[in-house]
Amino acid sequence: MRCTSLLVCVSALVTCASSAGILYPRESESREVKSLDGMWNFRLSLPDSLVGFKERWYMKDLSKTGPVIQMPVPSSYNDVIVDKKIRDHVGLVWYDKSFFVPESWRQQGYRVCLRFGSVNYAAQVWVNTHLVLSHEIGHLPFQRDITANLKFGRLNRITVAVDNVLLQTTVPQGSLQNISTNTGPKTIQTYTFDFFNYAGIHRSVFLYTTPIVYIDDVDVTTNYTEDGVGIINYNIQYGGSLSSGETLNCSITVLNNENVREKITVITNDEEGLSGVIKIENAKLWWPYLMHEEPGYMYTLEIRLSTTWNVDDVYRLPVGIRTIKWTNTAFLINNKPAYLRGFGRHEDSDIRGKGMDYALVTRDYDLIKWIGANSYRTSHYPYAEEIMDFADKHGIMIVDECPSVDTVNFSDKLLKKHTTSLAELIKRDKNRPSVIMWSIANEPRSDQKDADSYFKSVAIFVKNLDGSRPITAAIATQLDTDQLGQHLDIIGFNRYNAWYTLPGHTEIIKSRLEDEAAKWHAKHNKPVFMTEYGADSYAGLHMGPSFVWSEEYQVELMSEHFRAFDTLRSKNFFIGEMIWNFADFKTEQTVTRVGGNKKGIFTRQREPKSSAYHLRKRYWSLANRLD
């Protein structure tokens, strides 16, 4: 076998979800956080994909192995650089960077962790020539205590190998194809999903410190009583070992968002006691945007872990108090039925690709609120934790999706990785009030042999990890052959009437859509929402009478969907509409796309098309509010 990828050749080193926590690094009295973002050395692994391993590039400065360029982190290397060779590279690339670790960290007895928010798709990481981390499945964080590998008071080197190859056993799936070219044989990556295979170090890289005995993870669920008492159930796991005779104290303080103490609970010397219940009189609930005058209300759980001989550890976790329930016709938040007005989205913008960027996220949330939406699906993979923080704070409900997209050829190996991606996602996002559902897949071939048992296993797996939220998926398979819907709590379906089916014929939409949604409900007796519909439009293309790809056609197609949605809402099982897509986005090169997918109601530069104004009118009126 010719080795072309990390996945094929060193898969034994790839870690699976571990039982340790993955709390977001936050500074406190006991914790320092140092960012390793900035410019890193970068080079492609050429002439062959494994040359970096053969020549052990992790043993020396990358700049000593050959010519390097400077690459920003976070960003997608295959978007930011204007070099076709880099954009189209299939296989491994290498990054390295020097960083300083203060001597004071050793003096204070800190434990130092290295944490990546996301590297796509697979990564191996060395610190000062020691292999410290391996991770597969992009879009999810991974970390490790690297204290033993550091040189305190000196410069250290971090080296990262990144592999963007997708195979039939990765999540998402892809294939490699060999083609002949003028300069000899070449391997190209192919995949069926409709977004660009951005690669690189996509989110922030942090070093953070903790004391030797530390808060490793926190689980929170919330509720409230009829007389207004908010309930926070918590469970805290600690890491590090206690010496014999050493006792553990944990105190928890809840701060409201004016930083006023609400309630203190103290538990002493009792590991069992790291679970408990906090009650808050006259609690303020977490509400979605436009469902309440103060949406997204967050408390802070201030956790202090003290031991007899070690330094205290302090971690502050944002917490929203809300309940989620679902019946066979409705989805309820704080016991009120909620109707989802939302989008499918992508982490995508020009130049940075999927690189996390606060300015972009701020603009996006501004636009989401401007348009009056209250929700979106993280199609088709988990979004950055920083983006999810905005959702918590602004009251935007999230259908949180794992990276399983267009899944075919169901195998045990794939199932293992698919469930690993969900385990890592749930561990990361379990405490977020904004997360209202887990989406276990987008458009799998759920009519294929084995789809039934495969998705049954996925659904049971998720339910065992979190029974407090419904599971859903975006189904594209036809209703009579689909085998996935039966395993879900809420049915999501994608349909492109008058676009891929009978383009130009918007007159088919209303009756088809009403008929299909009613049948999904009748088949499964579960709530139904539309996870995708839409039309491409090329911003600035106007045609009268309307014609496919014009702004007028996109608006007309939306109007027909709105008419169907209105009828469906009156039938009382239809819980939401999510247009595809929030903004135009980059895809692989294909003749059916003009510079990428243009179904955005905003352009890639976040300028509104005619459809944005049209959707705005609808979403504000659905919220029963004039803006």
Residues at the site binding ligand GCB, with contacts judged by CB under 6 A: 194, 442-443, 476, 494, 532, 580, 597, 599
32 catalytic, yes or no?
Answer: no
The residue with tokens 């492109």 is 496
Closer of 297 and 553 to ligand GCB (Cβ): 553
Position closest to ligand GCB via CB: 194
CB of 597 to ligand GCB, least distance (A): 5
Closer of 143 and 442 to ligand GCB (Cβ): 442
CB of 442 to ligand GCB, least distance (A): 5
Helix-then-strand count for the chain, H and E: 12, 32
- Rounded to whole angstroms, how far apart are CA atoms 187 and 13? 24
Q: Calculate the CA dihedral of residues 377, 164, 137, 60 and round it to 10 degrees.
A: -130
Tokens of 532: 């995708």
Tokens of 303: 């956790």
CB of 509 to ligand GCB, least distance (A): 16
242 phi/psi in degrees, rounded to 5 = -85, 145
CB of 401 to ligand GCB, least distance (A): 10
Closer of 204 and 581 to ligand GCB (Cβ): 581
Closer of 312 and 588 to ligand GCB (Cβ): 588
Q: Are 196 and 587 in contact (CB under 8 A)?
A: yes
Instruction: Tell me the CA distances in angstroms from 304 to 23, 29, 168, 429, one per residue in order.
Output: 15, 10, 46, 22
The residue with tokens 């996935």 is 484
Residue 49: strand, helix, or coil: coil
417 phi/psi in degrees, rounded to 5 = -75, -35
CB of 195 to ligand GCB, least distance (A): 6
Closer of 210 and 494 to ligand GCB (Cβ): 494
- Rounded to whole angstroms, how far apart are CA atoms 234 and 274? 8
Within its chain, how far is the Cα of 588 from the centroid?
21
Closer of 236 and 578 to ligand GCB (Cβ): 578
Q: Are 173 and 191 in contact (CB under 8 A)?
A: yes
- Rounded to whole angstroms, how far apart are CA atoms 2 and 518? 51
Active-site residue, selected from the candidate residues 443, 552, 560, 577: 443
Tokens of 64: 């000593």
CB of 329 to ligand GCB, least distance (A): 26
Torsional class of 97: left (φ above 0), alpha (ψ -120 to 50), beta (otherwise): beta
- Give the residue numbers annotated as catalytic, written as ranges: 443
